[in-house]
């Protein structure tokens, strides 16, 4: 492969824990099979009635990470720590500079409503308002998961938590790209995590106010982004080059048109013609986003949103959509557009150059066993 060492940064590995299961193969196979994972929620376990959602199968923090240091770890933190472990297991020969040179960018909607609301509830119902569990404190802050990933995997580089609705993953990629471009990190783990919880289901149901929305989903998706030269130097195979991420806001007006404008602007600024794009994938199920991509790209617009199969994963949804593209087999270069339109009219688009991934290559990149990924 002729990769320009001075070219844009590259994604060299990814992992995901999703309702399809554990690891990138489980995700890719599940998405390819195309069966929805939305199911009735265990009412006893989750204390909800008549809920349908897509949950990560058999996810239990302590059974995956052990008893030490996990007593007060909430689900979203566990999802992020385990996914990061699986991603890092794909990076052999980590040298001494690895810890300080490796950053983490992790997306969220608002951390864990279960932890935060549980803490407030304890303050309100306790004998005294300060009769709360001190061990619960760290999990009540939005950057808990990112901080814990750093502790578990000893990542001492830039560590950021980003929130931008369903666009989060794409905005996070841009933030990660800037960290690399300015030399603040040599590699960045860039992901997002969202948990299913009783509190999240309750808040979501309340927000919908009688008009049921999509079923909730959960999980964590994470990619490894590094400068092309860094990937070449360590002999890593690039899966895709991140050419551009652009964002916009639709203020009033026509959202479909705003998505078309945003995509056109992204292509224009990158010097890419519409006809060169081989696949375009929208993150949400909204008609505005789907129709805009169909208008622009015709049959090259992939109308299957991960959203439809694994539920609304909120801040992770754009990265899961990216994962559908990264996981697809391809024997030649291609250009991919990923879009995300949020409910408030904010739009982000990413343009990636996909590098060939054969079945053999996919096997090579197979994730090692989970045990290798955590301490």
Partner 1 sequence: MSTQPTGSAARPADRRVVITGCGVISSIGTGVAEFSAALRAGRSNVRPITAFDTTGFAHSNGCEVPGFEPERWIHNVDITELGRASRFSVAAARLAIEDSGIGEDRLRDRRGVVSVGTTDGECRDLDTLVEAELAGGEAGMDPVNARRIPAGNISTAISRELGLTDVESSTIATACSAGNYAIGNGFDAIRLGEADFALVGGADAVCRKTFTIFYRLRSIAPDCCRPFDKNRMGILTGEGAGILMLESLESAQARGARIYAEVLGYGLSCDANHPVAPHQPSITRCMDLALHDAGVKPGEVDLISAHGTGTKANDLTETRAIRDLFGEDTPRVVSMKSMLGHTMGAASALAAIGCALAITDRFVPPTVNHEETDPECAVDCVPNESVPADLRIVQNNGWAFGGNNSVVIFGRLDTESTENTESAEAELEGATR
Near partner 1 in 90-109, by CB under 8 A: 99-100, 103-104, 108-109
Of 252-271, binders to partner 1 (CB under 8 A) are 258, 265, 269-271
Q: Which part of the chain contacts partner 1 (CB under 8 A), choosing from 2-10, 12-20, 283-291, 305-313?
A: 2-10
If binding is defined by CB under 8 A, does position 226 make contact with partner 1? no
DSSP-based three-state secondary structure for 106: strand
Helix 75-88 to helix 144-153 angle, to the nearest 10 degrees?
Answer: 40
Provide φ and ψ at 341, rounded to 5°. Answer: -110, 125
If binding is defined by CB under 8 A, does position 140 make contact with partner 1? yes
**Residue corresponding to tokens 């969220």:** 108
If binding is defined by CB under 8 A, does position 375 make contact with partner 1? no
Closer residue to partner 1 (CB): 23 or 172: 172
If binding is defined by CB under 8 A, does position 356 make contact with partner 1? no
Longest dimension (CA), the chain: 67
Provide φ and ψ at 330, rounded to 5°. Answer: -155, 140
Q: Identify any residues that bridge with 15 across adjacent strands, giving them in sequence order.
A: 222
If binding is defined by CB under 8 A, does position 71 make contact with partner 1? no
Count of chain residues binding partner 1 (CB under 8 A): 99
- Please name which of 30, 363, 358 lies closest in space to residue 217, comparing C-alpha atoms: 30
The CA–CA distances, whole Å, from 371 to 62, 66, 69, 272, 368 equal: 13, 10, 16, 43, 8
If binding is defined by CB under 8 A, does position 198 make contact with partner 1? no
**Residue corresponding to tokens 């960045």:** 188
Of residues 55, 150, 337, 354, which one binds partner 1 by CB under 8 A? 150
Query: Nearest approach, Cβ of 279 to partner 1 (angstroms)?
Result: 14
From residue 7 to residue 26, the character string flagging contacts with partner 1 as x (rule: CB under 8 A) and all else as - is xxx-----------------
Q: Which part of the chain contacts partner 1 (CB under 8 A), choosing from 36-44, 52-60, 205-213, 216-224?
A: 205-213
- Count Cα neighbours of 9 within 13 Å in the Cβ-side half-sphere: 26
Cβ contact 266:260 at 8 Å = no
Of residues 117, 232, 370, 374, which one binds partner 1 by CB under 8 A? 117
Q: Which part of the chain contacts partner 1 (CB under 8 A), choosing from 79-87, 215-223, 245-253, 282-290?
A: 245-253
CB-CB neighbours of 138 under 10 Å: 17
Of residues 164, 224, 281, 350, which one binds partner 1 by CB under 8 A? 164
CA distance 38 to 29: 16
If binding is defined by CB under 8 A, does position 311 make contact with partner 1? no
Closer residue to partner 1 (CB): 189 or 309: 189
If binding is defined by CB under 8 A, does position 191 make contact with partner 1? no
φ/ψ bin of 275: left (φ > 0), alpha (ψ from -120 to 50), beta (otherwise)? alpha
């Amino acid at each position: 492969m002729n990769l320009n060492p001075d070219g844009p940064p590259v994604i060299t590995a990814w992992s995901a824990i999703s309702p399809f299961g554990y690891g990138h193969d489980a995700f890719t196979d599940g998405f390819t099979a195309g069966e929805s994972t939305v199911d009735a929620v265990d009412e006893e376990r989750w204390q909800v009635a008549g809920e349908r959602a897509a949950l990560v199968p058999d996810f239990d923090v302590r059974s995956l990470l052990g008893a030490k240091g996990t007593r007060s770890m909430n689900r979203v933190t566990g999802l992020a720590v385990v996914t990061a472990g699986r991603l890092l297991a794909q990076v052999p020969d980590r040298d001494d500079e690895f810890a300080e040179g490796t950053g983490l960018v992790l997306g969220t909607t608002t951390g864990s409503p279960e932890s935060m609301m549980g803490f407030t509830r304890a303050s309100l119902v306790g004998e005294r308002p300060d009769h709360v569990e001190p061990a619960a404190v760290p999990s009540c802050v939005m950057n808990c998961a990112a901080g814990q990933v750093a502790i578990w995997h000893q990542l001492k580089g830039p560590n950021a938590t980003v929130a931008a609705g369903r666009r989060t993953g794409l905005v996070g990629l841009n933030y990660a790209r800037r960290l690399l471009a300015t030399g603040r990190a040599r590699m960045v783990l860039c992901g997002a995590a969202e948990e299913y919880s009783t509190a999240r289901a309750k808040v979501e149901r309340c927000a919908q106010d009688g008009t049921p929305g999509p079923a909730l989903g959960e999980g964590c998706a994470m990619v490894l982004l590094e400068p092309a030269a860094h990937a070449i130097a360590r002999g890593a195979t690039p899966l895709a080059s991140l050419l551009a991420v652009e964002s916009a806001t639709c203020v009033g007006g026509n959202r479909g048109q705003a998505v078309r404008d945003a995509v056109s602007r992204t292509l224009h600024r990158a010097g890419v013609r519409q006809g060169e794009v081989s696949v375009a994938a929208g993150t949400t199920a909204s008609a505005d986003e789907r129709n805009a991509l169909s208008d622009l790209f015709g049959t090259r617009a992939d109308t299957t949103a991960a959203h439809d199969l694994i539920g609304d994963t909120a801040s992770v949804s754009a990265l899961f959509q990216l994962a559908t593209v990264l996981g697809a087999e391809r024997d030649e270069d291609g250009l991919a557009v990923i879009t995300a339109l949020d409910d408030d009219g904010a739009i982000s688009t990413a343009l990636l150059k996909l590098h060939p991934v054969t079945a053999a290559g996919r096997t090579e990149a197979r994730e090692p066993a989970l045990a290798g990924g955590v301490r």
